[in-house]
Structure 1
Amino acid sequence: MTRPRAQRPRLPETSGAQRRSHLAWNGGMKGQSRPPAEAATAARCTVDGCGSEATGPAPTAGMVPVTGAGDGAGAHWWCAGRCAVLARTRAELRAVPMRSDGGR
């Protein structure tokens, strides 16, 4: 029967040089990391008609029509601000041609 190998005890960092070396290695960080921020990544828009299909006149004043990408997506009405920017960005990203392996 073989005996398990004994684990070498962890030596404490007692000298100043050891502590400085450890902080330099960790980029000055020590202890527990902080918890992630409690922030919503995307909040729902509260403007009536934002994101509705652009089949007729704008549902609310100040709405911007954003056409979809070339993959057949139709135009939608978005409020002039963050929503319109996100919609345009999404349409531009969808317009990037697909690679042969299925990625963009």
Structure 2
Amino acid sequence: MTTKQAAPAPKKKGATRTQQVWNKGAVGKPTAPRERPIGRQCPNDLCGKPAEPDSKRPSGMQAVVVDGPGAPARWYCQGRCATYGQALADIRSIPDHLPTQRGVA
């Protein structure tokens, strides 16, 4: 007995109605998202540098302090860079010896 092989399915030429609804009507190739600057790509050379104790605040800069011993405050530009710096400071303030979830019901 010989089996007849099925012909390959024809290629679709467009999105189905469900796909169009999912994509909110968008067709074609997707575009790359626009780049958004973060604190590490700041053109200001002082941004992210350690702030010396008792130093005068440079114009347009904000000191971000890490809670806890050992980490210096750092200068960041006001706005996005300072927000980025505060997020880093918050992460750095998390203790290394967090309790694990083992044995917790």
**Which range, TM-score by smaller chain?**
0.5 to 0.7
Distance 1:4 1:31 in 2: 40
Secondary structure at the counterpart of residue 50 of structure 1: coil
Compute the TM-score of the two structures, normalised by the length of structure 2. 0.56
Identity between Structure 1 and Structure 2 (%): 24
- Aligned equivalent of 1:6: 5
Match of 1:60 in 2: 58
> Does 1:36 find its partner at 2:35?
no
Tell me how far apart the structure 2 counterparts of residues 94 and 47 of structure 1 sit (CA, whole Å). 23
- Gaps (5+ residues) in structure 2? none
TM-score if structure 1 supplies the norm length? 0.56
Unaligned runs of 5+ in 1: 14-18
- Give the 4+ runs in structure 1 shifted more than 6 A: none
> How many Å apart are 1:48 and its aligned residue?
4.1
Distance 2:10 2:94 in 1: 55
Closer, same or farther in 2 for the Cα pair 1:31/1:52, shift >3 Å?
Answer: closer
For these two proteins, the number of residue pairs brought into alignment is: 91
- Cα distance 1:42–1:9, how it changes in 2: closer, same or farther (>3 A)? same
Separation (CA, whole Å) in 2 of partners of 1:70 and 1:55: 17
Structure 1 distance, partners of 2:3, 2:89, is 61
Higher relative contact order (CA 8 A, sep 6+): 2
Instruction: Tell me which residue corresponds to 1:75.
Output: 73
Q: Distance in 2 between matches of 1:72 and 1:53?
A: 12
